[in-house]
Structures are given as C-alpha cells and as structure tokens.
Structure 1
Amino acid sequence: MTRCRLCGSEAMASVVDLGATPPCESFLAAGQLDKPEPAYPLHLRVCTDCWLAQIPPLITPEETFSEYAYFSSYSTSWVEHARTFVTDAVQRLGLGTDAFVVEVASNDGYLLKHVVDRGIRCLGIEPSVNVGATARDAGVPTLTEFLSPDTGSAVRAEHGPADLVVANNVYAHIPDVVGFTQGLRALVADDGWVSIEVQHLLTLIEENQYDTIYHEHFQYYTVASAIRALASGGLSLVDVELLPTHGGSIRLWARPAEVAGEPTARVAEVLDREKAAGLQELSGYTEFSARVAKVRRDLLRFLIDAAERGETVVGYGAPGKGNTLLNHCGIRPDLLAYTVDRNPYKHGRFTPGTRIPILSPDRIAADKPDYVLVLPWNLRAELVEQLSFVHDWGGRLVFPIPELSIVEVKA
C-alpha cells in the first residue's frame, strides 16, 4: 500500500504484519479440503497525515458479501443491543410512524425488525443475497445492493429521504470510504441523522484485539480519523458514544454539515483520550506488534502443554476474528480438535486456512472436553453464562484476548 485511501498521502507506517491468511469468512466444505486455498497479506498500516489505520484492498466486497456466512441474529446480546438502540433512537430523535429509517448492511433484519414492530417505515440495504432473503422472510423490507452514491440517490428518489440512516459494523468494511460516505449523505434527509457503529482503534490497540484485523475490515477508526472520513461525504460529527460491543466500539452521530452545529463535549473528551494514548503520533503504535506476538506465544504454549498432558481442548464459535487468531498462531486440529457454532450454515464446514471442523454446539456436552477456547471473546459475559454447563465435569473456559485467561465457570 503506497497511498492512504482517505487523504491520498504516501506517509504510511507499519503497525503490525500478521502474515498471509485466507479471507476470514471463506469456510470450506469437505469437498474443498484437497483444493488450493488463496491467502492474502494481512498488514496493518497507519497514515501519519490523517491517522486512518488501514490494510490494502486485496479482496473486493463483492467477493466477501455476495453470499455471507454471518447472521447477526445468532448473537442474543447483539439482538438485544439492537433493540435498545432502536428504543433510544426513537426517543432521542422523536421518530413517529411517519418517519423513515434506512439501515445499510442490514444483515438478517436483526435491527430493523424492531423498527417494523413499532410501525415505522424502513428499508434495509444488504448486499448478501442469502442474508437479505432471511430478512425479507422475517418481514423486513430489504434491497440487495451495495451502497454507493448512485444507490443512495435511487433509494431517496423512490422512498424519500431518511430521517435516520443506521450503519452498524459496516464503515470498516468498505474500501471506498469517500464513495460510501457520499452514499450515506444521499440517503439522509437534509435535517436528518446518521448513526454509525464501528470498532474503536483505541481499544483495539490498548486491549491487544488484533484478531479483529481481517480482510473484510479495510480500515480502523479513531474519532479523529472518523471526523475526516465523514467530512469527505458532507457529514459532520455531532456526538459520540463509547460502547462495549466488539471489545470497544464508538457510535458516531452525524448530520449534514449544513445543520450539524457544534459537537457535544463527549467528542472533545474522546479526542483528548486518543491524543493522550499517542494515536496521533507514531509512539501510540510502536509497541503493538510486540504485544501481539506475546498473545500468540501464550496461547500456543497453553495448547501445547495441554496436548502433552493429554487434555482435550475444543473451540466455541467460528467468528471471523477467530480465523485471524487461528491462522496467525498456526493452530491446527492437533491442538484444537474442533470448534462449534450456533449458526447451522457453518456446520460440517472447516475454518479457512487451519481446516478445523465446525460442529453443532451440543457436541461439547457430549464430549466433555477439559477446556473450551472461546473465540468470540467479545461476548464474554454472554458466553460464560451460556457455557456454565462445562462446570458439570470440571471443564474450564479459555479466553485468548486481551491476554490468556482461564476461567472456572460456576453452575
């Protein structure tokens, strides 16, 4: 990568190089195990002019999202997070039954179903054919498209301007930051609101969350770099909320620049935190690579020691982040016999690169392993409760991020 995709600068500095991995959602069917599997470099750099952290666009969104393995509704806590957001947004913005809400990357309708339940007109824009079909089956109107300025203008012409545009966990997934932001501006009413949730680079760095670096995530935002990105499409940041989701996210409240006004005090507070952490100078990034290497060593040491003691370790979950971790650590079925997932779409498949079988969750109770390695560590509270049954045979949970943690769960 020679130029920043946001500001065009050539001043790019290395943050961490994770080698080469397959795309994190390219789960393998049994018939693919003897075929070649493409892998792409996974090297995070930061622009020292606008401070947008980014990886090269080596795969296209079309390759990733035309058919997608991730369904949001399989996370109980994420559905509840969406319900709470809708309740709060309706109150905050005074949205009535005459309002219009659009969600970009609406997945299986996990959020908009709460809007439908309130009798508010809405539309999802979801590029994945299979996931969008699930949303429509659930009664959520869904357009199968990628957002671009043209798509935004077409939706506005047909349905009218949106009082609220929601873009949760998609602002990192698009290589054309400027075009996508222009699409958001085309959708939103001239006096409307845009709400964006995206992982916060501050917590990614501070909490060693390097497994959230994967090819679907083209960039990683601070509030400072998000302000630059929003401005590229004619939007201004009005407010920010710090969220616990995905290990630490930011919710950006933006409006068309003409009506935005002054940002809240919370914006200045978060900007000050980012500056104090050194994220607007190279000093904030220089130690990250060494801390990533320690996560790898600690996890491998635990797995190797467990194997030599004859203890069994299996995984829980098959998230995209887990595949970054497994590939970077070089973990194969000799160290992790299998992993399980609530999503039946993944059952009978294998993790990309590492070829670890993905089974149904009931396999854990049947096999009674000594340890369960939790790959979606960001759902720790939810999964400690869900997996409390491993206590019945003295099993323990293992969390690899931000540092290796072995937990004895209570029944």
Structure 2
Amino acid sequence: MSIPTPSHTTPCRICGGAVERFLDLGDQPLSDAFRKPDETDDEFFFRLEVGRCTGCTMTQLLHEVPRERMFHADYPYRSSGSTTMAAHFRAIARRFIAEELTGSDPFIVEIGSNDGVMLRTVAEAGVRHLGVDPSAGVGLTAQEQGVRVRTDFFEERSALEVVADEGRADVIYAANTFCHIPYLDSVLAGARALLGDDGIFVFEDPYIGDILRRRSFDQIYDEHFYFFSATSVGAMAAQHGFELVDVERLDVHGGEVRYTLARPGRRTVTQAVHDLLLEESTSGLDRAEPYESFARAVMAIRDDLRSTLERLRDEGRRVVGYGATAKSATVNNFCGIDRDLVAVVYDTTEEKQGRVTPGQHIPVEDMSGFATDPAPIALLYAWNHAEEIKRKEQAFADRGGRWLTYVPEVRLD
C-alpha cells in the first residue's frame, strides 16, 4: 500500500506558511514494523519527503503516517536498551527532583514514557508522577518497575482528563517523542491546561542543525515528523502561549537540543537561547541553501554506500548489520540495501529477533550471533552509539573486523 506523493509545497503544520520540499527519500515502510518472514505481503509504504517552512522555518515531513500504525501495543523500541541513554535519563530525573520537584506535593508528567527508564528514578524518590504512552507493551514494562502509566496518546483531551484526576504538573517532559507528533497544536493546548503557572515543559529531540552538519539523513523517518531548531521552536512557542526560556545542546542520538518552555514572563530567558538563535542565523538555518546542500550530500552518500557494498559483495566479503534501528529502514530502502548486500542484522531487542527488516526484509537475529559470525565487516546502523558499541565489541576488532559507517560520509574503519 502506498500513499500518493504530495506536491512540491504543502502548508506548514505549525504556522500555515509554505513548506518547500528539499529532500525526497522515496517510498518507505514503517520504520519499526519488523514482520515475520511470511507476513510481508501487505506491507505499508508512504512517500518520505521533508521540507522547510519559509515562514516559521520549521522542518517537517510532507506527509503524515497515521499514528496508530506506528505506536501500538507491539511497539518494539525500548529506551533503556542503551546504557548511555539509561544514564542520561537518570541524570535528568535527578535534576528535576533537585531543581523543580521541590514543593509539598510535586507532580511530573512524561509524554512518551516508554519503558519508564526516566520515571523509575522519580518513582524511587517518592515523587508523584505519571507517564502517558499509547504503547501498552512498553507501558506494562514500566508498570512492572513501579512507574504509573496511562496508556493513551497525549493531546488536549487526555491532558484535561489528567488535570481532573491529578491536578496540574510542575514539569512536563518528553524525550524523543515531541517531534513524533504532527498535531502539536493539540499537544501544546494540553500542556497549557496541565502545566502549573510556574511549571516548565521540557522536551529533547534531534536538532536540525546537527542533522545538516553531520549529514545524518537516517534521522528522517516516519516517526520523526518535525526537526526542531531554536528559531522554529521559539516561533511555535509564541504562537501557543509559551516562551522559549532555555536550550541545552546534547551529544546523544547524533545531536539533540533540550528545549525548555514556560508561560511568558515566568522565567528569565537564558543567554543560551540568545546564543543559539544567533548561531542559527549566522549558519543560515533560516535560508534554503544549507538544506539544498544537505540534499546533494545525501545523494552522494547513497551512491557511495551502495557501490561500496556491491564491491564488497563482488569480492566475496560477507557484510552483516549491527543494530536493527528505526533509522536503518531509511538507509536500507533509500539505498536499495537488501540481503544480497547485507546478510543479516544483529540486534538486542527480542521483539525484532526472528523477523525481517522493514521493506528490504533482511533477517534480524539475536545479538549473541554477532560474536561467532565470521563476517569481516559490520554495517553500523546504530552509529549514534558507536563509542559504546565499539567498546562492547572489542573482540570483533581484535579478530580483524571492520566497521562500515555512512555518517557523515562512507568510511570503512
């Protein structure tokens, strides 16, 4: 099943301005739809195109995939799967506890709480909390760890119900979730209703400046609908009754920014906000050229990666994949990488093992097989965890194994 390709421009979902397409990544499957090998006949595809609003500058997909197709009971991603990210979430939880959740009965709500990796620290501290996540499977995992979860999509309706049941929140937090939601008007209306007068709404997501700089085109897939900058977030916040009061650069997931919104005039706008806005203006994030340059670089990476894999195949050198990430769906389908070029992908997520990758149907196997696989080359899809992975897989390098990466360019190390 395929959705018709939209026109070159489309209305901005934030301000209504004109969104100009700068990159077309072709027909793509759902990035986390890992199916059984005999259940791939009716696979869903959509056109993955991305553009930039000429008004508010928000980068966004040109077409929306129905949310129920992506986020459901069998959603396979687990936030706690990386030790680096688990430590990251424990740290932000401790910061909230120390700096924001200090009243007589503080309350924090997390949008997209996943398996509860952040809220576990909050729960252990005895702080009132609630996770809101539509995926029942990961929600059950969180509840088994002592985290309170509401299985639902966060929007104005559900936020008003939380207010009625729980009262208003001191902190609303979302990590790698806010950018997933096309209907941000409803989410922000819900946040206005739920947030206390002096509360903060904090979210962290991939930063468009880092994506352009690092050429990390695989950050673009169905679940990532928006790609934020301080400029676009500031415009969006003002339109919906908030003010951007702080930003923090994060070196996770290939480069993110943590944005803090508050009600206008309730918090002092930090110097970090002014600095990042100036940096974005200087680098041209509000103009078309960096996006067009990025698109040209992406096409070159596609051609180079495919030709490299074809050469390795022709030389009789077995290549395996490491990390059945959501990002890998974009890479495999845009570059035409199938099991003829990558024999198997190894992954730690049980829900993906024994299945095949979206679109190209490369088998996914238990990560334990990587240790005994004689393949001399591994295509590192999970490049954003490269440092952690290479430490963990030192034995692979010791036996002469080499890592093939494609961000910011194709390299065989």
TM-score (norm 2): 0.95
The one-letter code sitting in structure 1 at the alignment partner of 2:15 is: C
Following superposition, the deviation at residue 258 of structure 1 comes to 4.7
Cα offset, 1:139, TM superposition: 1.1
Q: Which residue is 2:12 aligned to?
A: 4
Q: Distance in 2 between matches of 1:355 and 1:363?
A: 18
Residue of structure 1 aligned with 2:133, choices 126, 136, 141: 126
Aligned counterpart in structure 1 of residue 352 of structure 2, from 327, 346, 351: 346
Partner of 1:191: 198
- SS of match in other structure, 1:230: helix
**8 Å contact kept, 2:132–2:152:** yes
> Does 2:10 match 1:42?
no
Question: Hey, what's the Cα distance between the residues in 2 that align with 1:396 and 1:92?
Answer: 45
Name the CA shift for 1:389/1:95 in 2 (closer, same or farther; >3 Å). Answer: farther
CA distance in 1, matches of 2:237, 2:149: 25
The aligned amino acid for 1:49 is G
- For 1:96 and 1:357, locate their aligned partners in 2 and report how far apart those are by CA, in whole Å: 51
Q: 2:145 aligns with which of 126, 138, 152?
A: 138
Q: Could you give the per-residue CA deviations for residues 316-341 of structure 1, whole angstroms, max 9, x where no partner exists?
A: 11111111011100000011001011
> Does residue 384 of structure 1 match 2:390?
yes
Q: Tell me which residue corresponds to 1:253.
A: 260
Report deviation, 1:288. 1.2
- Alignment map for 1:12-411 (pairs within 5 Å): 12-33=19-40, 35-67=41-73, 68-93=75-100, 95=102, 98-260=105-267, 262-407=268-413
In structure 2, how many angstroms separate the alpha carbons of the residues matched to 1:96 and 1:368? Answer: 57
Residues of 2 paired with 1:38 and 1:147: CA distance?
25
1:4 maps to amino acid: C
**SS state of the match for residue 224, structure 2?**
coil
Q: Using the alignment, how far apart are the partners of 2:233 and 2:409 within structure 1? A: 28
CA contact under 8 A between 2:72 and 2:135: conserved in structure 1? yes
Q: Distance in 2 between matches of 1:231 and 1:61?
A: 26
Give deviations 1:19-47, integer Å, cap 9, x for gaps. Answer: 111111111112213x1322110010111
Taking the aligned partners of 1:391 and 1:211, their CA distance within structure 2 comes to: 25
Q: What secondary structure sits across from 1:367 in the alignment?
A: coil
Report the alpha carbon displacement of residue 392 of structure 1 after superposing the two structures with TM: 3.4
The answer to whether the Cα contact below 8 Å between 1:211 and 1:321 also exists between their aligned partners in 2 is yes
How far apart, CA to CA, are the structure 1 residues paired with 2:353 and 2:401?
A: 23
After superposing on structure 2, the runs of 4+ consecutive aligned residues of structure 1 that deviate more than 4 Å are: none
State the AA in 2 paired with 1:3. P
Shift of 1:215: 1.2
SS of structure 1 residue aligned to 2:179: coil
- Going from structure 1 to structure 2, the CA distance change for 1:96 and 1:382 (only over 3 Å counts) comes to farther
Give the CA deviation at 1:354: 0.7
Q: Residues 48 and 63 of structure 2 are in contact (CA less than 8 Å); yes or no, is this contact kept in structure 1?
A: no
Compared with structure 1, are the counterparts of its residues 391 and 177 closer, same or farther at alpha carbon in structure 2 (3 Å cutoff)? Answer: same
Indicate if the aligned counterparts of 1:182 and 1:232 stay in contact, CA closer than 8 A. Answer: no
- The amino acid across from 1:305 in the alignment is R
Shift of 1:309: 1.5
Percent identity between matched residues is 34
Which ranges in structure 1 are unaligned for 5 or more consecutive residues?
A: none
CA distance in 2, matches of 1:240, 1:213: 22
After superposition, the CA RMSD in angstroms is 1.4
Measure how far apart 1:96 and its partner are: 5.7
Q: Is the 8 A contact 1:43 1:55 kept in 2?
A: yes
Tell me the CA shift for residue 207 of structure 1.
0.8
Residues 248-293 of structure 1: CA deviation (Å, up to 9, x unaligned): 1010111122523x41111011111111111111122221111001
- Amino acid across the alignment from 1:395: G
Paired residues of 2:323 and 2:346 also in contact (CA < 8 A): yes
Q: Shift in Å at residue 311 of structure 1?
A: 1.0
Worse-superposed segment, 78-87 or 391-400: 391-400
Q: 2:3 is matched with which residue?
A: none
1:163, CA displacement in angstroms?
A: 0.9
Partners of 1:244 and 1:121 in 2: how far apart?
29
Amino acid paired to 1:385:
R
Deviation at 1:167, TM superposition (A): 1.0
Which digits, 9 at most, give the CA deviation of each residue in 1:188-233, with x for residues without a partner? 1111111110111001111101111111111111111011222333
Q: CA deviation at 1:56?
A: 2.7
SS in 1 for 2:25: strand
1:362 to partner: Cα distance:
1.1
Normalising by the residue count of structure 1, what TM-score does the alignment of the two structures yield? 0.95
Question: Distance between the aligned counterparts of 1:310 and 1:376, measured in 2?
Answer: 24
TM-superposed deviation, 1:88: 2.1
CA distance in 1, matches of 2:206, 2:334: 21
